[in-house]
Amino acid sequence: MNKPVTAVSNLGAIDAAHHLHPFSDMKKLNASGTKIITRAEGVHIWDSTGKQYLDAFAGLWCVNVGYGRKSIADVVHAQMLELPYYNTFFGTTTPPTTLLAQKIAEKTGPKINRVFFSNSGSEASDTWFRMARVYWKALGHETKTQVIARKNAYHGSTVAGASLGGMKWMHEQGNLPIEGIHHINQPYWYAEGGDLTPEDFGLKVARELEEKIIELGEENVAAFVAEPIQGAGGVIVPPSTYWPEIKRICAKYQILLVADEVISGFGRLGSWFGHQHYDFEPDLAPIAKGLSSGYLPIGGVLVSDRVAEVMVNELGDFYHGYTYSGHPVAAAAALENIRIIEEEGLVERVRDDTGPYLAAALASLTDHELVGEAVSVGLMGAVQITADKATRRRFKKPDDTGTAVRNQCVNAGVVLRATGDRMLFSPPLIIERSQIDQAVDTLRNGLDWLK
Ligand code: PLP
């Protein structure tokens, strides 16, 4: 069998000459040199110099079952030989596509029974955005088109995805957001809560949704979207009062509640989906990442009966889809990935064992003079760096601070991510307690270095 390409001596130079990386300052990257990752196994990755790292970020929040799963490779190989591709547009489907939709529906609550497939989370954002507007139009509510999202959210890089996201620096590139999208504050108590208790702050920012609906006019609002826990924005865990209040407001005004489950789906929070952890049922929910643990690109939108019934019975054609919607090979990989999560009890393991263990390990860092807060749910966690605990003052250049600590950790063999001055954990769901200790100890050393 052919081997994967790894042994090309001047790959770095070739990369600098030909490859434009996403989310990268290419001039800086070409000066520092690209790190070439050549192989991976379990929770570890190796670079082209042979150096091993503990990947405490699961690639990009996605390799939930860990690397090197031969059974996924075997299923993919067999599916490629059996049927490498067929579309799902013109009255056709393929066995893995349909069985995957059924399997996903089994894991969601009783009111979610359908899935629309995409290839990524960004495409899933564009998909639900159109679906929400189409839903209201099909019901005769032509004016219900406005969507409320949150500042500092991340919903992808496509035009709708980046517009729904609340990252200003993304909006500045490409004249975003597009019309009809509004952003309210996020529940980031540590940085924005002032003198309020977390509970009062959670209520206050949730009620901004109600204020915005009233300002825009209930008859104009289609949906509200949020990540159960803001991910790329810095793992912003909402106060306990936040989601119940959001749920109440969406129900009161009958607007669609959209939970972006791209990170929080498939076990990360110790539940199959983040909305289950926070005890609500969304009307629509984009998924991706952990759906296939990143083995192949696949995403989708969970569609509740409320929306599906209108799409099926009222709409007629939905003029939307991707050549690779429900790709049979990606679907086969996702089915095997879910089978592994089930067979190995990974959701329960995160809920009952490694999740609480990570929470305790991160909490142990709060005695450090530079740690303002340490939060986590399941295996999604963050440590906030602060220059002064008492006043919650930040370092002058939060981005540089986080990047410097991250680089220290990577040099010491642990891959974490920094968002500004928050250090983020999102390891594969198979991580062992001793490996959590290694990651947290490495972060402590990184913080000591910063002192
Ligand atoms: N939504 C959330 C919450 C995400 O974290 C991401 C990616 O990180 C996306 C959407 C976009 O997904 P993709 O990168 O697969 O397009």
325 Rama class: left (phi>0) / alpha (psi -120 to 50) / beta: beta
Between the CA of 59 and the centroid of ligand 1 the distance, in Å, is 13
ipTM topping 0.95:
yes
Ligand 1: does its nearest atom lie under 6 Å from the Cβ of 122? yes
Tens of pLDDT, residues 87-119 = 999 999 999 999 999 999 999 999 999 999 999
The structure tokens 């001039």 sit at 27
Q: What is the CA radius of gyration of the chain?
A: 22
According to the model, what pLDDT value does residue 81 have?
A: 98
Confidence band for 212, pLDDT divided at 50, 70 and 90:
very high
Ligand 1, atom nearest to 120 Cα: 15
pLDDT surpasses 80 at 356? yes
Task: Please tell me whether residue 1 adopts helix, strand or coil conformation.
Answer: coil
pLDDT surpasses 60 at 1? no
Q: With the C-alpha atoms ordered 86, 87, 88, 90, is the resulting torsion angle positive or negative?
A: negative
What is the rounded distance in angstroms from the CA atom of residue 176 to the CA atom of residue 174?
6
Ligand 1, atom nearest to 289 Cα: 15
pLDDT surpasses 90 at 9? no
Confidence band for 386, pLDDT divided at 50, 70 and 90:
very high
The structure tokens 């995160």 sit at 350
What is the H or E stretch that residue 148 is in? strand 146-150
Ligand 1: does its nearest atom lie under 6 Å from the Cβ of 336? no
- Pick from 57, 33, 29: which is nearest to 418 by CA? 57
The average pLDDT across 193-218 equals 98
Report the residue count for the chain.
451
Domains and CATH numbers, the chain: 35-65+345-450 (3.90.1150.10), 72-343 (3.40.640.10)
> Residue 337 is which amino acid?
N
Between the CA of 314 and the centroid of ligand 1 the distance, in Å, is 30
Ligand 1: does its nearest atom lie under 6 Å from the Cβ of 121? yes
- Per the CB < 8 A criterion, the answer to whether 203 and 244 are in contact is no
Q: Output the six-digit token pair for 161.
A: 């995805």
What is the rounded distance in angstroms from the CA atom of residue 334 to the CA atom of residue 340?
10
The structure tokens 């690109």 sit at 297
- Per the CB < 8 A criterion, the answer to whether 228 and 258 are in contact is no
Between the CA of 64 and the centroid of ligand 1 the distance, in Å, is 15
Tens of pLDDT, residues 311-354 = 999 999 999 999 999 999 999 999 999 999 999 999 999 999 99
Pick from 61, 117, 122 the residue to mutate for probing ligand 1's pocket: most ligand atoms within 8 Å of its CB. Answer: 122
